[in-house]
A and B are shown apart, each in its own frame.
Chain A
Amino acid sequence: MSEPAPAQADPPKPQLHVAPSPHLASTATTGGMMLDVLIGLLPVTVMAAYYFGLHALIQVGICVGSCMIFELMFNAMRGKPASILDGSAAVAGAILGLSMPWNAPWYAGVVGSLVAMGIGKIIFGGLGQNIFNPAMVGRTFVMISFSVSIGSAAYVVHDAPMEVVTQASPLSVAKEAAGAADLPGLWALFIGNVNGSLGETCSLACIIGGLWMVLRRSAAWRTPAGSVLGLAVISLIAQLIDPQSLTMLQHLVGGAFLFGAFFIATDPVTSPVTPRGQWIFGIGYGVLVFLIRQYSAYPEGVAFAILLMNALTPLINRWTIPTPVGGPAPALVKK
């Protein structure tokens, strides 16, 4: 009996995969979009550091660091893989930090981050599942909890090293004086040479960073456009009715409106996905900012306006289902 001839070695066969189309994909990633947001926040951070010195960087550092640590911690508690590298925790931390006053106590940032990540995000199921913007949840929580140390009164420090903080923030001035006459000039509001939360004072930096994100398609352009439109129209009407109130331009460049319009309202997770919905969200945000500034006890209404619009987002999505090119599907027409 002879041994069977050794099987001849097959030529190397490539490993072939079967998969449904499409077989190509763009290089865009969620992490890349978050990086765009962080880059967009850079001019704002630089200007904050310019006006408020090291205090700005410390606040942002505390919030970014604790947001990332809490995200890691909560993910570990849920037994989920760490999602820290997608950058969303860093973005939430940066926005939270930039929405703080320069002299906020360190624990305000830490507690804010804890609430932002825990109750704002992870409790809903993590990235993509939350209803409310995490940073705004955290910010609102600390604003109510530590109303003395970071409320509007805390912004004014007469013996501070920076000149800007020796006066009340513009919107507080407007609220207390009930008039627009005592406000800093428009130019000072535009370049940020006024008191306020770290990231909100420099409108110019918000616009530059916002345009970057819009051009990179990492933020929907319709949301900020709708925001500006909404606030501009309603505040112009108010200005025409009562010339004593804040003018349209003061509304637009004063306070945190632009920071919110470009960086917070555009948070994709908590804003509508449809084009018309993004317009509605933006306009609603602008109008709510005006109403809260004008009629509530608070001088500023950005955080509340965002949270209220966040709550409406699922509804807005349903209201604004776009009609397909070619009209609705026949089966739906019959009903």
Chain B
Amino acid sequence: MTTLTDAPHGSGTFPRGIHPPHRKKPAEACTIEVLPTPAQVTIPLLQHTGAPNEPLIVKPRTDVTVGQKIGASDAFISAPVHASINGQTARATAITLPNGRHVNAIPIKAGEEQPSAEELYDDHFGGDWPTDYSDREPKEIIEAIKEAGLVGLGGAAFPTYVKLSPPPGKTIDTLLLNGAECEPYLTADYRLMVEAQAAIVSGALAAARAMQVDNIVIAIEDNKPQAVDKMRQAVQGTAVQVIAVKTKYPQGGEKQLILATLKRIVPTGGLPLDVGVVVMNVGTAAAAARAVARGKPLTHRVITVTGAGVNHPKNVLAPVGATFTELVNFCGGLTEDAARLVAGGPMMGFTLGSLDTPVTKGASGLTVLTQQDLRKAEETACVRCGRCVDVCPLNLVPTKIALAARCQAWDLAKRYHMVACMECGCCAYECPASIPLVQLIRMAKAQAPRD
């Protein structure tokens, strides 16, 4: 495998991109707090990118304990789900996820006995974390990560074990940990890096061992100097390197981060593994450490509840399946001028139509925007100023694709490389005419006939 000699030599940034307001202040300084066990959780059977799980417990009123597997699938790209609280299952139900998908879910009513907040916190972040996995077989590590139901916690929720098992013929030489957290408002990854560096480093080393990779890089945006310092201290004596990258949206996009840190270009339509890289969110790494070193499945995650529409923004360790209502109540409720609930960050997050939606593994935040935060300008004609072109991190011509989409001129949209768009939203953010560029492109990608 490759050695550290061809370690990172990216410039720390990527061409174009935008500088939205950071808005990290509301939740930045809030220590991770544990959500009191809710009276009921609802565990969706599909929380990842891939095949849905089949329920393992069909009979209602079955006793389950934290970490017990309750849904699994034989499909390759899938991740099992586990009970996140102690209690009794109820009849399976169907719910709608923030991204609009209807999925089956198993509700669990809380029992009397629950782990205390301190126990949960220590179990997730406290104690000692191994930095040497040489006694563990790679296969064994991958199996542990698979059984733990680990998915990418950055938002896409792709099953982690699949990432760690590259197809034959692909060689991975670098594990890149994504601590950029380029979405405005969100601070969940930042808090993890400040509070639980040891778990992150341990998880990175476990994942690297699983892929037999020596080159491990953690990339953090330079607007989080405290996280950079803490991570630098934590990696001392290990093979892990910490790089501060430029604060710019979408620095946390895998392709942008790989370019900024390693100076490699992922081909259009390709994956990071095409250039020998596996990218993993820092939160995923911490969860991987817990799965491999402690044998605990992914039952809880840190989620930032923030924005001007929330009375007391916080970073909350919440069980999967708790509703956003419980999170909001824990954070002092919504303000009167709250106008939009966004699952995730404001640049790429989905809006919630109702707070009674369960938290899934991929939910990194709940951003509550007020009327003031939202753009009010009316859409006007495109004057072809080219600002969307100037900011597109993929070097596309968003206005042409979007206007072609409006006329359903699919061939024209394709000629302008519509399929290369990763929907980061820089174009729509920047557009002085308030044209919903990325929204139109997204629609076109979904509607255009495939060839």
CB within 8 Å of B: which residues of A? 12, 14-26, 28-30, 32-33, 83, 86, 88, 126-129, 217-218, 220, 268-269, 271, 273-275, 278, 317, 321-332
Contacts and interface: CB of A to CB of B under 8 A. Distances in A.
Contacts of A15: 339
Interface stretch (B57-65, B72-80, B376-384): B376-384
Contacts of B337: 14
Interface of B: 15, 18, 20-21, 184, 255, 259, 265-270, 309, 334-342, 346-353, 367, 369, 373-375, 377, 380-387, 389-390, 393-397, 399-400, 414-420, 425, 428-434, 436, 438-439, 442, 451
B428 A22 contact: yes
A292 B176 CA distance: 57
A254 to B, nearest CB: 30
A21 B373 CA distance: 13
A217 B387 contact: yes
A327 B451 CA distance: 19
Contact of A321 (B338, B374, B394, B397): B397
Given A268-B383, A329-B269, A332-B417, A16 B338 contact: yes
A329 B338 contact: no
6 contacts: A14-B335, A18-B340, A26-B432, A273-B385, A273-B389, A329-B418
Given A15-B339, A273-B400, A324-B394, A23 B349 contact: yes
Contacts of A30: 380-381, 383, 385, 432-433
Contacts of B386: 220, 268, 273-275, 278
Contacts of A129: 381
Nearest to A15: B339
A23 B380 contact: no
Contacts of B338: 14, 16
A12 B353 CA distance: 17
A12 B334 CA distance: 10
A75 to B, nearest CB: 13
A28 to B, nearest CB: 4
Given A128-B381, A128-B433, A273-B399, 7 more contacts: A23-B346, A24-B20, A26-B18, A26-B20, A28-B430, A29-B432, A322-B396
Nearest to A218: B385
Contacts of B451: 331
B373 A24 contact: yes
Nearest to A335: B451
A33 B381 CA distance: 13
Contact of B397 (A12, A28, A322): A322
B380 A326 contact: no
Nearest to B349: A21
Contacts of B255: 325-326
Most buried by A among B309, B383, B394, B416: B383
Contacts of B269: 326, 329-330
B414 A325 contact: no
A329 B389 contact: no
Contact of B267 (A25, A220, A269, A326): A326
B348 A269 contact: no
Given A21-B346, A24-B347, A127 B340 contact: no
A12 B384 contact: no
B417 A324 contact: yes
Given A24-B347, A26-B430, A16 B339 contact: yes
Contact of A23 (B268, B374, B393, B432): B374
Most buried by B among A24, A83, A275, A331: A24
Contacts of A217: 387, 390
Nearest to B350: A21
Given A329-B269, A331-B451, A23 B340 contact: yes
Contacts of B267: 326-327
A325 B419 contact: no
A33 to B, nearest CB: 6
A86 B380 contact: yes
A31 to B, nearest CB: 8
B428 A332 contact: no
Contacts of B352: 16, 18
Contact of A16 (B20, B340, B389, B433): B340
Contacts of B335: 14
Contact of B270 (A17, A24, A326): A326
B24 to A, nearest CB: 14
Contacts of A331: 414, 419, 451
A306 B335 CA distance: 55
A328 B268 contact: yes
B265 A326 contact: yes
Contacts of B266: 326
Contacts of A322: 389, 395-397
A22 B438 contact: yes
